[in-house]
Every structure is written in C-alpha cells, then in structure tokens.
Copies of this chain bind each other. A is one copy, B any other.
Amino acid sequence: MAEERKISMAVIRRLPRYYRYLGELLEKGVNKISSRELSERMNVTASQIRQDLNNFGGFGQQGYGYNVDYLHEEIAKILGLDKNYKMIIVGVGNLGHAIANYSSFEKRGFKLVGLFDVNPRLIGMSVRGFEVQDIDKMESFVKENSIEIAILTMPKTRVRQTAEDLANWGIKGIWNFSAVDLALPETVQVENVHLSHSLMTLAYKINDEEEEME
C-alpha cells in the first residue's frame, strides 16, 4: 500500500466520521448512497467526499453511488479497525473511569484488559469488572500480555516518565490526555487529546461569530 504514504493526516482525521455515518446508515438498512446524499447528511461538500475517498481508490461507481457496506469495511481496513488492540488505562480518576466505561470502543476492536494507578485507595477497586492494579505491576503485565495501547489519564507530572517506560516495554500507541507533549521513539505512535485546546477553539468560534453579527 505504498500509495497510502502521502495521504495527509487531515484526510485521515475525516475518515472516522465517514466510518461512523456509514455505520449509522447500515443500522438503518441503507445499502447504497450517492456522494450528494452523503454530503448533505454529513454537511461536507460532495466534491470533498469524492476527493477524500479517491485517496484510497475511490469505491464509488459513476451513476450508482457508494456501496455503504463495502465502503464501511474498506474504511475500517484503512483505519486498522479490522484488527484487535489490547489496551490498558493508566490513571483511574474520573477521566480514566469514564473511558473505561465507553463500551463502544470494544465493538471496534479496542479491548480494555487492565487498569493501573498509584493511589492505594484505588488499587484493588473494581471498574467494569477489572481490578485496578498497582502501577508497579504494569511492566510485567504489559510484556506478558503484549499490550498495544496505553491510555494515559494520569497527572501531568508523571506522564513523561510513564510514557518512556511504556515505550521501552514495547507498547505501540499512546493515547495521551495530559497537556504534555511527548517525545518518544518512532516505534511508538502518540495521539493527544488536549481538552483545553478544544475549549479555547470554542471560545474563538463564539467571539468570531459575535464580531460577524456586529
């Protein structure tokens, strides 16, 4: 799949939304959709949709539209959702708890298998059927269970060291919820969720709109 190399992350970041919409269509029994219809539903231009999907060979037939099931499956393959991933959560505060309870992740192949914390009051507690383990046991757990993804929902101060340890123990991806940018070897992929950035963007939109109305 050498031709996929050049696809921009901007396109990749739109794929989960296509995937979600197509999944909703399938649930409703819709098997065929034109780029115009998909465009109206998703509030994206039809030409944007065609361009995005052409990056992966198109999938559409002129005058027929898209086969929803096929397109859904192909996007799943591109995103790697045809595989399973074993995940752990590091930091079982409210956010760690919230993420542990997202049952929809599991349906897409993201399987939570362990939770870790340093707090003695949390260790031993049960969250969604998992016992919260002492972070001291994380190294052997990650290695023995070939954990692929670590979700970091822990305080900022400990994130860098933990991420480096996890990288050394063979983790492949880190989903980072702290406001710290991680510098890790290329073998480890990082996806950041900066909630404060999102909130600042909302502030911008609110102000921008107010200026427009003045």
Q: Which residues of A contact B (CB under 8 A)?
A: 1, 4-5, 9-10, 12-13, 15-17, 19-20, 42-43, 78-81, 83, 85, 93-95, 97-99, 101-102, 104-105, 108-110, 148-149, 172-173, 175, 179, 181, 183, 186-187, 189, 191, 193-213
Complex Cα gap A183–B17 (Å): 15
17 additional contacts (CB under 8 A) given A16-B200, A175-B202: A12-B204, A13-B197, A15-B200, A15-B204, A79-B200, A80-B207, A85-B203, A94-B94, A105-B199, A108-B199, A108-B200, A172-B206, A172-B210, A173-B202, A173-B203, A189-B206, A189-B209
A197 to B105, CA, bound (A): 10
What residues of chain B lie closer than 8 Å to A94, measured between beta carbons? 94-95, 97-98, 101
